Amino acid sequence: MIEFITHYWLEVLFGAALSLLGLAYRTLSSRFKQYMKEQDAVKLGIQA
C-alpha cells in the first residue's frame, strides 16, 4: 500500500481533496435545505 501511495501520491492527494469537497458540499447542501424549510415555514406563518 505504501508503494502505491508513493508511486501515485498526486492521484491520492487529489482523490482525498475531492472526497473532502464532496463531504463539505453534502453537509452544506443539507444545512441549506433545512434553512429553506424553516424560511418557508416562517413565510407561511407571516401569510396566515
Q: What's the rounded Cα separation, in Å, for the pair 35 and 15?
A: 30
**Per-residue confidence (pLDDT) for residue 48, from 0 to 100:** 65
DSSP notation for 18-48: HHHHHHHHHHHHHHHHHHHHHHHHHHHHHH-
Amino acid at 28: L
Count of positions (residues) in the chain: 48
- Segments making up each domain of the chain, as ranges: 2-47
Q: What is the pLDDT of residues 1-48, one digit of tens each?
A: 888 878 898 998 999 999 999 999 999 999 999 999 999 999 998 876
pLDDT of residue 2: 83
Give the model's pLDDT for residue 39: 95
38: left (phi over 0), alpha (psi -120 to 50) or beta: alpha
pLDDT (0 to 100) of residue 4: 80
